A and B are shown apart, each in its own frame.
Chain A
Amino acid sequence: MTIAVSFTAVSRHFGSVKAVDRVDLEIGEGEFFAMLGPSGSGKTTCLRLIAGFEQPTAGHIEIFGETVEGVPPYRRNVNTVFQDYALFPHLTIVDNVAYGLMVRGIAKAERYRMAEEALALVELPGFGNRRPSQLSGGQRQRVALARALVNKPKVLLLDEPLGALDLKLREQMQEEIKSLQKALGITFVFVTHDQGEALSMADRIAVFNQGRIMQVGSPEEIYRQPSSRFVADFVGASNVLPPDFTGAGRWASLRPEAIRFTKSGGRPARVVSHSFLGGQTRVALDAGGQRLHMLLPSADSRPDDGSDVQIAWSDGDLHLMDDGK
């Protein structure tokens, strides 16, 4: 596998703030890579380091094997879809999309043809003569995508591109971006704070916290085998259990759907409350002072709030974590 982007011990400090702190990272060519983390965790700074808007305080970055230290953004074969889209308000849509081609000196007829192609790719054919202000949020998002993709970047960077869209549109764009990436085979680096988005779209996920990468892995790994309490807390709705509860001497995570009711031999617990989520119902439990929640199919019968029950799970579902952080 060719390495598209590699970070070696990269740090970026702003004064005394370590926005990115000794990050090692390898993103493969054609990969859909998500950087997931709470705000201020360093994921956007990492994206800006790849784009060239930031320079590392220490460490080494390569894009397709070439060192990019000191290379300005306009000489990197990398394009960005900005969080606020950053469409040029004084240009028409087609001039927005053709901008990258224009500054490279491609003739007008040719760049308009390519821009129209790119607009067709994001399902906005014939929108070229409008202005950004005449478009809806979802349409602007597509224009921003077309404007980046028309330059045929080797890596496409997406900075929380779906944050401004409403839920339904967001889900639709998730699917479209995913299939666009599959069709084009371009490396996508996607920054988000939404774990559902990262899990559903990415081939691999890096979970960021306080400038450091906590875990890198496939969505399955991140979800099923979180390496730390932070990842378990942030990524899943997992139950994070202390060592004295598990009896295994280590912190553990337990997915809510792995817990079931049992008639006998289980751990005693009391049903605290329940919330209806549609297809599933979440039940909050108190097991000897430890809060737990479980997910039940809503069609199943459910004990009343306040009743005493016994719960169980198979040992394989209890995932022991490396550290207690």
Chain B
Amino acid sequence: MRSDRQHRAPLGLKIAAAAGLLFLHLPILLIFVYAFTTEDKSYQWPPPGYTMKWLGITWQRPDVWESLGLSVRVAAISTAIAVVLGTLCAAAVSRWKFFGRETISLLVILPIALPGIITGIALRSAFNLADIPFSTWTIVLGHATFCIVVVYNNAVARFRRTSASLIEASMDLGADGFQTFRYIVLPNLATALLAGGMLAFALSFDEVIVTTFTAGQQATLPIWMLEELVRPRQRPVTNVVAMVVVLVTFLPILAAYYLTRDGDQIGGHGK
């Protein structure tokens, strides 16, 4: 027949790939399994029995709802800030040549390259110096530092692909600045912003390090989970929550991947 045979991977490679995937995803599956175990003191394998009761118990724990609410709020606000500032910054850097342009580009990307612990300590001492009490807003500020990068990277990549003559063509055809933004710039940018925003949301939602330094008494969902793990009481509740976090984070990233498949890099994926 044709050359189908040549496209088939050798057996060794297949086994290696399968092993790699298992290594990556088996632990996550284990977390899911433990969410349904009947044993609540230690992680015993195999689980002595299976039950759905932890779903109900989790549902009734006010501390879960509190930290979940805080996490969603922080992620939503940080993302909103990041979308506005990241887009404006990307527009400035890619549309005009000005003194210090490369430096600004580097400074915007720097927070994601810095270890989170540095960002965290820096913000904490800055808040202390400025006498700003810790609140939801200090967490939001901390998260915004790396959320902006994600949006910025996506927007810059899209601006680079969008020909400058499109904007001139729009003006030439009679559209003023607002119409050009509304009908040409925004539609061309929309999927990049959506993808960047979703990634930013996901990053903020499971952030631990920066949050520990900027949160004060409040606990976001990841922080709450860390605290829960220390006390061996109703452990499967943590696993139920973990399952929810995986879903909440995974879906937007999947969506972002599909939206930007046509060549845009998803910047800052590695935070």
Binding site for B on A (CB under 8 A): 51-53, 72-75, 78-80, 82-84, 86-90, 99-100, 102-104, 147-148, 151
Query: Smallest CB–CB gap between B93 and chain A, Å?
Result: 21
Contacts of B183 in A (CB 8 A): 99, 102-103
- Alpha-carbon distance between A84 and B162 when the two chains are bound, in angstroms: 12
Contacts of A88 in B (CB 8 A): 166, 169-170, 184
Given contacts A103-B179, A103-B183, A86 and B174 within 8 Å (CB-CB):
no
Number of interface residues of B (CB under 8 A): 17
User: Are the C-beta atoms of A100 and B166 separated by less than 8 Å?
Assistant: no
Given contacts A80-B169, A82-B169, A103-B179, A90 and B188 within 8 Å (CB-CB):
yes
User: Are the C-beta atoms of A86 and B169 separated by less than 8 Å?
Assistant: yes
Chain B contact residues: helix, strand, loop or mixed: helix
Q: Does B176 contact A (CB under 8 A)?
A: yes
- Alpha-carbon distance between A284 and B123 when the two chains are bound, in angstroms: 78
- Alpha-carbon distance between A109 and B140 when the two chains are bound, in angstroms: 48
Given contacts A86-B163, A90-B187, A100 and B168 within 8 Å (CB-CB):
no
- Alpha-carbon distance between A75 and B179 when the two chains are bound, in angstroms: 13
Query: Looking across the interface, which residue of chain B has its beta carbon closest to that of A73?
Result: B171
Q: Mark B159-188, 1 if CB is under 8 A from A, else 0.
A: 000010110111111111001000110011
User: Are the C-beta atoms of A104 and B174 separated by less than 8 Å?
Assistant: yes
Kindly name the residue among B173, B179, B188 whose own CB sees the greatest number of chain A CB atoms within 10 A. B173
Given contacts A88-B184, A90-B187, A103-B179, A74 and B166 within 8 Å (CB-CB):
no
- Alpha-carbon distance between A51 and B173 when the two chains are bound, in angstroms: 10
User: Are the C-beta atoms of A99 and B173 separated by less than 8 Å?
Assistant: yes
Query: Smallest CB–CB gap between A228 and chain B, Å?
Result: 33
Contact of B173 among A53, A90, A100 (CB under 8 A): A100
Query: Looking across the interface, which residue of chain B has its beta carbon closest to that of A90?
Result: B187
Q: A74-B172, A74-B175, A74-B176 are in contact. List 4 more A-B contacts (CB 8 A).
A: A82-B168, A89-B188, A103-B183, A148-B172
Contacts of A148 in B (CB 8 A): 172-173
Contacts of B163 in A (CB 8 A): 84, 86
Contact of B168 among A75, A86, A103 (CB under 8 A): A86
Given contacts A73-B171, A80-B172, A99-B173, A86 and B179 within 8 Å (CB-CB):
no
Contacts of A87 in B (CB 8 A): 169
What are 8 A-B pairs with beta-carbon distances under 8 A?
A53-B168, A74-B175, A75-B174, A84-B163, A88-B170, A102-B183, A103-B174, A148-B173
User: Are the C-beta atoms of B165 and A86 separated by less than 8 Å?
Assistant: yes
- Alpha-carbon distance between A72 and B176 when the two chains are bound, in angstroms: 9
User: Are the C-beta atoms of B173 and A147 separated by less than 8 Å?
Assistant: yes
Kindly name the residue among B171, B172, B187 whose own CB sees the greatest number of chain A CB atoms within 10 A. B172
- Alpha-carbon distance between A148 and B168 when the two chains are bound, in angstroms: 13
User: Are the C-beta atoms of B172 and A73 separated by less than 8 Å?
Assistant: yes
Contact of B171 among A72, A89, A147 (CB under 8 A): A72
